[in-house]
């Protein structure tokens, strides 16, 4: 009998969710029947016709702004998930329910489906209390307490949890997770190998430094832009271009900040670009940059940089150090001037870049690439 895996994702559509796209392809290849509840988006189009996959879409809600906005957004997503899961269950059995989190709000639906025979797997990508703390200078204790309550409820309803690093594993185990496996979010190496270098992406600059990802307030792109200003104005370097690839709530603010800091000639922010385009930029770049201050995060961008043999220049945080030791340069958190100096030093030292890049590429090939991580993910589903 073909097993049926139903997946609920809220924060981004299936067609944009790089991690879920990889999981869906591997589940189908392993012989599962898959259904995905996702917000409607043009990038979902290829998945509407994929054999073995049922895509259940709902109208996107405006992104939350402030607590009331987030409550409206999550309530709408919860309602649509309830409707679509009820329809799926009416048509037949759901063997495994996978919840892609955050937000940690779907545990009531999981409890009902558990009672009806489904096994529950939580795929935890971020921790809501930590994200809330990173986004707001003075987070309200009552909100943090509520977020931790939701986290505990989600972990206690799950038969298994997969997460992206050891920090999350330990936190989720403490919150009640029974079986927590680390499945890192490395790129598919077969697609990395297909990427083509394009010198035109440097726009005439000798060097290209890339930042890629979702532009949320917690990602601290303001620090990255100040690094650029320090390199251009403080270090008097005008041979470097900086590509910030991605979209999100901070995109327009970063475009304005580039003008304010007088670096708009050296920076381009094209908005959302496809994975193929991101990989072309990485194949053409000299360095990869990250400026998060979140100790619990393993940035997907860092794994992608390493896959392309790009040294990572970043702040020294536990999970970043765990994957990038020997493959990049890490400086004390928040030290913008030091980060800028290290970027300039590496740009001027081709041999160092090559040595660091070789370590990173080998680590991705041997340990962190999706081809390695996929086996852990499929085993978690099989055990569930």
DSSP 49-101: T-TTEEEEEEPPPPPP-HHHHHHHHHHHHHHHHHHHHHHHHHHS---EEEEEE
Q: How far is CA 309 from the centre of its chain?
A: 20
Return the CATH fold of 189-368.
Rossmann fold (3.40.50)
Fold of 4-186+371-383: Rossmann fold (3.40.50)
The dihedral through the CA atoms of 230, 136, 256, 240 has a sign that is positive
What's the rounded mean pLDDT across residues 320-347? 94
Coil vs helix vs strand at 345: helix
Question: Would you say the CATH fold of 189-368 matches that of 4-186+371-383?
Answer: yes
Tokens (6 digits) for 230: 């320090």
**Neighbouring residues of 349: CB distance < 8 A, sequence distance ≥ 6:** none
What pLDDT digit, counting tens, does each position of 236-293 carry? 999 999 999 998 889 999 999 999 999 999 999 999 888 999 999 999 999 999 999 9
CB atoms within 10 A of CB 337: 14
Q: Where are the domains of the chain?
A: 4-186+371-383, 189-368
Q: Can you give the pLDDT at residue 263?
A: 95
Which has the closest alpha carbon to 53: 32, 34, 67, 38?
34
CA atoms within 13 A on the CB side of 74: 16
pLDDT at 12 (0 to 100)? 87
pLDDT at 128: 84
Both tokens of 348, joined, read 């001027």
Q: Flag whether pLDDT at 57 surpasses 90.
A: yes
Residue among 159, 64, 137 at smallest CA distance from 103: 64
* Whole-number Å distance between alpha carbons of 338 and 381: 44
Q: Which residue is it, tokens 């590429």?
A: 361
Cβ of 119: how many Cβ atoms within 10 Å?
20
Convert the pLDDT of each residue in 319-332 to its tens digit. 999 899 899 999 99
Is 80 exceeded by the pLDDT of residue 155? Answer: yes
| Residue range 26-40, pLDDT digits in tens | 999 999 999 999 999
Residue 362, classified by CB atoms within 10 Å of its CB into exposed (0-12), middle (13-18) or buried (19+), is middle
């Amino acid at each position: 009998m073909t097993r049926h895996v139903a997946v609920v994702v809220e924060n981004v559509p299936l067609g944009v969710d790089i991690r879920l796209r990889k999981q869906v392809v591997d589940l189908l290849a392993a012989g599962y029947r898959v259904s995905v509840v996702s917000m409607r988006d043009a990038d979902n189009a290829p998945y509407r016709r994929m054999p073995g996959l049922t895509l259940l879409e709902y109208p996107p809600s405006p992104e939350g702004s402030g607590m009331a906005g987030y409550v409206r957004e999550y309530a709408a997503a919860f309602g649509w998930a309830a409707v679509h899961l009820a329809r799926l269950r009416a048509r037949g059995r759901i063997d495994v329910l996978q919840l892609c989190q955050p937000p940690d709000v779907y545990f009531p639906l999981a409890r009902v489906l558990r009672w009806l025979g489904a096994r529950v797997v939580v795929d935890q990508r971020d921790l809501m209390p930590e994200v809330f703390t990173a986004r707001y200078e003075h987070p309200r204790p009552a909100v943090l307490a509520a977020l931790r309550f939701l986290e505990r409820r989600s972990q206690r309803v799950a038969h298994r949890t997969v997460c992206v690093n050891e920090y999350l594993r330990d936190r989720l185990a403490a919150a009640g997770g029974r079986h927590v496996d680390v499945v890192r979010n490395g790129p598919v190496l077969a697609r990395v190998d297909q990427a083509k270098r394009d010198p035109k992406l440097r726009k005439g600059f000798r060097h290209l430094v890339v930042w890629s990802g979702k532009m949320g307030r917690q990602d601290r792109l303001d620090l990255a832009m100040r690094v650029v200003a320090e390199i251009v104005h403080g270090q008097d370097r005008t041979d470097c271009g900086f590509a910030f690839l991605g979209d999100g709530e901070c995109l327009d603010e970063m475009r304005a900040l580039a003008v304010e800091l007088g670096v708009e000639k050296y920076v381009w922010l094209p908005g959302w670009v496809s994975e193929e385009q991101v990989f072309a930029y990485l194949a053409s770049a000299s360095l990869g940059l990250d400026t998060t201050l979140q100790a619990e995060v393993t940035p997907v961008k860092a794994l992608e940089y390493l896959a392309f043999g790009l040294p990572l220049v970043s702040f020294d945080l536990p999970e970043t150090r765990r994957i990038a030791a020997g493959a990049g340069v890490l400086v004390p958190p928040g030290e913008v001037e030091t980060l800028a100096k290290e970027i300039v030093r590496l740009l001027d030292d081709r041999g160092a870049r090559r040595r660091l890049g070789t370590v990173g590429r080998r680590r991705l090939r041997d340990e962190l690439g999706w081809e390695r991580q996929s086996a852990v993910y499929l085993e978690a589903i099989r055990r569930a």
